[in-house]
């Protein structure tokens, strides 16, 4: 199973390996979902919520996203998930590659 800090800063996958941005992980890995969103790290904030299985926090992340972005507002948490392409923690990840 992949750790939270690795999942939220995963930039891609190669088979059963997650490729993780180690510099972002080191700098922001201890922040909670709301703090990540406030710093503009929306994908990481979304991943943090999904990893913790705290669907109730999705609305907070969505509200922060809509208040900080100049793009058209997103109306639902599902739309936010589609925008960033994150829906669940992949169960098949057995290895982490930090770059």
Buried-exposed string 33-47: b where 16+ CB fall within 10 A, e elsewhere? bbebbbeebbbbbbb
pLDDT digits (tens, 9 = 90+) for 47-93: 999 999 988 899 999 999 999 988 888 999 999 999 999 999 998 99
pLDDT digits (tens, 9 = 90+) for 6-58: 999 999 999 999 999 999 999 999 999 999 999 999 999 999 999 999 888 99
């Amino acid at each position: 199973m992949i750790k939270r800090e690795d999942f939220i800063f995963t930039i891609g996958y190669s088979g059963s390996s997650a490729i993780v941005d180690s510099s972002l992980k080191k700098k922001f890995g201890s922040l909670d979902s709301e703090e990540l969103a406030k710093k503009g790290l929306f994908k990481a904030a979304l991943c943090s919520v999904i990893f913790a299985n705290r669907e109730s926090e999705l609305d907070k992340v969505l509200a922060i996203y809509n208040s900080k972005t100049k793009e058209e507002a997103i109306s639902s948490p599902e739309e936010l998930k589609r925008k960033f392409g994150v829906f669940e923690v992949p169960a098949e990840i057995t290895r982490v590659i930090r770059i």
